[in-house]
Amino acid sequence: MTNPTAPLLAVDDLRTTIHTARGDLRAVDGVSLRLDRGEMLGVVGESGSGKSVLGRTIMGLHTTGPLTTIQGRVEFDGQDIHGLRAGQLRDLWGSRIGMVFQDPMTALNPVKKIGTHLTETLRKHRGLGRGAARDRALELLAQVGIPDPRRRIDQFPHEMSGGMRQRVVIAMALANEPDLLIADEPTTALDVTVQRQILDLLDRLQEQLGMAVILISHNLGVVAGRADRVAVMYAGRIVETSEAGALFRAPHHPYAEALLAAIPRLELPPHLRLEAIEGAPPNMLRPPSGCRYAPRCRYAQDDCVSRTPLLEGTPDEPDHRYACHHPVNLEPLMPVTPAEPEGAR
C-alpha cells in the first residue's frame, strides 16, 4: 500500500471554517503543504494566524459538523483523513500520528498514574500484555530523559514538574513509534532552560525514529535551527515557505521580514528601537480583501488590495515560495557572516 515516493502527508487547499454566533470565521483559508517521511516542518505565526487550527485539522480533530466546515483534502499516507470513520481515526491517532500540545497538564489525566497513561496505549494498539507494556513504558520514560523511571512510573501527574510532564506527554505520543508527530507549541509553557532540553529531545527522537514532525510555534527561534522547512502563516494562509535557512537569511514576504525584525536580539546593544509592526492582525470574521497583510504592510500598493497574491516560487528558487506582489530581499544578499556570537566564551 505504502508508496515510498509519495509524500507522507499531502494537504490540498484546506479550509477550516468555524461557524460562530458572530459569523463564519475562516481560521484556515486555503493551505496546501507536503511533508516527507523524516522531515521536520516548522509552522510559525502569531496568535490567530490559524496555525493551531491547521494542526488540529490535519490530525482530524476538527471535522465537518454543525460548528465547523472542512473543505479541501488531507491525505496521510494515501488515506483521506476526513473520509475516515471515528474508530479508524482513533486507531490512526494512537499508532501512526502522535500529538503533543502546549499544556502537558491538560493532556494528562490527573487521577491516573504516569504508567497507566503509557500502558493504556501500548496495550490497545500493540496488544501487549500487562508486564510487557510496563517494561516498554519504563523504556520510554528512560528514552525521554526522565531520571529514575521506576519511581516515576507510579507517580501522579501533579507530582511532577512541567518539564517532566511534557516529557511524559512526548513519551505517550511516541509510544507506538508514529510516522508523524504534530507538536503544537510543545515548549511554550516551559522555562527556557527546560525548553531547550525538550527541543533537543524532540530532535534526537526524530532522528532515531525517522518520524516526520510538524512543529507549530509562535517563536521563530524555536523553529530556526531545528526545522528542515518553515511555513509562515498570517491570517489563515501560508504567506511564505521554504527551506529553513533560506527563509531566515532572506525572507521574501514583508510580513516574514517584519516578524524577524521585531524580535529583540541578544547580540545587539540595549535600548535599540525595535521594528514594530504597526496595527494588529485582521479580524478573521471580516478579513481584508487581497493580501491580508496589506493594511499593515509598508510596501503595499493598490494591486495588493485588488488581487490576492498566490504562493509561488521564482525560477531561481522554485522551492522558496511566497505570496506577495512586492517581495523583498530578492537580490542575492551579501553573505551573512554572523558576528562572533556574544554568548561564546
171 in Cβ contact with 202 (< 8 Å): no
By C-beta, is 92 or 239 nearer to another protein? 239
By C-beta, is 147 or 315 nearer to another protein? 147
By C-beta, is 95 or 197 nearer to another protein? 197
Residue 144 CB: number of other CB atoms within 10 A? 22
Minimum separation from the CB atom of position 86 to another protein (A): 35
Minimum separation from the CB atom of position 234 to another protein (A): 10
Minimum separation from the CB atom of position 245 to another protein (A): 7
By C-beta, is 57 or 195 nearer to another protein? 195
Minimum separation from the CB atom of position 124 to another protein (A): 30
Could you tell me the three cell numbers for 107? 493532556
Which amino acid makes up residue 93?
Answer: W
Minimum separation from the CB atom of position 18 to another protein (A): 19
Which residues of the shown chain bind another protein in the complex (CB under 8 A)?
46-47, 145, 147, 161, 163-164, 191-197, 199, 218-225, 244-245, 248, 258-260, 262-278, 280-281, 338, 341-345
By C-beta, is 115 or 251 nearer to another protein? 251
Residue 277 backbone phi and psi in degrees, to 5: -95, 120
Distance CA 215, CA 205 (A): 14
Distance CA 187, CA 31 (A): 25
Grid coordinates 493504556 are at which residue? Answer: 120
By C-beta, is 18 or 246 nearer to another protein? 246
Grid coordinates 496595527 are at which residue? Answer: 279
CA dihedral of residues 315, 320, 325, 326 (deg, nearest 10): -100
176 in Cβ contact with 95 (< 8 Å): yes
212 in Cβ contact with 183 (< 8 Å): no
Distance CA 286, CA 175 (A): 42
Minimum separation from the CB atom of position 321 to another protein (A): 20
By C-beta, is 121 or 187 nearer to another protein? 187
Could you tell me the three cell numbers for 249? 537569511
Minimum separation from the CB atom of position 339 to another protein (A): 9
Could you tell me the three cell numbers for 64? 465537518
Identify the CA nearest to 149 among candidates 139, 161, 157, 159: 139
Minimum separation from the CB atom of position 40 to another protein (A): 13
Minimum separation from the CB atom of position 276 to another protein (A): 4
The full DSSP string for 111-139 is TS-HHHHHHHHHHHHH---HHHHHHHHHH
Beta-ladder partners of 241: 231, 321
Taken as a whole, the chain contains a residue count of 345
By C-beta, is 150 or 345 nearer to another protein? 345
By C-beta, is 94 or 251 nearer to another protein? 251
Distance CA 274, CA 297 (A): 16
